[in-house]
C-alpha cells in the first residue's frame, strides 16, 4: 500500500489543483466521510461496483484505503475536467472576440467595396460620355477634312 500511496502522491504532484479556481466543497465532503469512517460508521454500500470482487476478502481498513485512493483519483480527474472546462471557456471567449472583430472588419470591407463600386460606376459613366464626345469630335474632324479637300 505504501507503493500505491507513493504513486498517488506522485500523480497528485503532476496535477494542477484548482483550489483557487473552483469553489466547491468536495474536500469538506471527503473529510466528513473520513471522519465517519474513523468513528466506525461504515456505509453499507462497500459491496458496490466500486470495490473489485476481491474486496470482500480484504479487511475494512484496506477497503477504506482503497476507497480513499479511488476518491483521490476521482478528485484529480474532476480537477482536470474543471481545468479543461475553464480552458475551453477561455478559448470560446477568445473565439467570440475574434468573430466579433472579423464581423466588424467584414462590415468595414463591405462598405469600402460598395464605395469603390459606386466610384467605378461613376467613372464608367464619365468614360462613356467622353467616348461619345470623342466620337462626335472625330465625325466633326472628318467632316472638316472633307470640307478642306
CA 33/CA 28 separation, integer angstroms: 9
Q: Supply φ then ψ for residue 40, to 5 degrees.
A: 95, 5
Domain boundaries along the sequence of the chain: 60-148
Instruction: Give residue 34's pLDDT.
Output: 74
pLDDT band at 149 (very low <50, low <70, confident <90, very high): confident
Q: Report the predicted TM-score, pTM, of the whole model to 2 decimal places.
A: 0.46
Q: Three cell numbers at 113?
A: 467595396
Q: Number of H helices and number of E strands within the chain?
A: 3, 0
60 or 101: which leads in pLDDT: 101
Task: Give the pLDDT confidence of 24-48 residue by residue, as tens digits.
Answer: 566 677 777 777 777 776 555 544 5
- Integer CA distances (angstroms), 128 to 26, 87, 120, 140, in order: 80, 60, 12, 18
Q: Is the sign of the CA dihedral 110, 111, 116, 118 positive or negative?
A: positive
Amino acid at each position: 500500500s505504501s507503493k500505491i500511496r507513493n504513486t498517488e502522491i506522485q500523480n497528485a504532484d503532476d496535477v494542477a489543483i484548482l483550489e483557487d479556481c473552483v469553489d466547491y466543497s468536495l474536500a469538506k465532503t471527503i473529510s466528513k466521510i473520513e471522519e465517519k469512517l474513523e468513528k466506525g460508521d461504515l456505509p453499507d454500500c462497500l459491496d458496490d461496483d466500486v470495490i473489485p470482487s476481491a474486496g470482500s476478502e480484504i479487511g475494512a481498513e484496506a477497503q477504506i484505503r482503497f476507497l480513499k485512493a479511488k476518491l483521490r483519483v476521482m478528485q484529480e480527474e474532476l480537477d482536470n475536467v474543471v481545468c479543461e472546462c475553464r480552458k475551453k471557456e477561455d478559448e470560446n471567449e477568445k473565439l467570440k472576440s475574434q468573430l466579433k472583430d472579423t464581423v466588424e472588419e467584414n462590415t468595414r470591407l463591405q462598405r469600402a467595396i460598395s464605395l469603390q463600386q459606386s466610384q467605378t460606376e461613376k467613372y464608367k459613366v464619365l468614360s462613356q460620355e467622353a467616348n461619345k464626345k470623342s466620337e462626335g469630335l472625330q465625325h466633326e474632324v472628318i467632316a472638316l477634312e472633307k470640307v478642306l479637300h
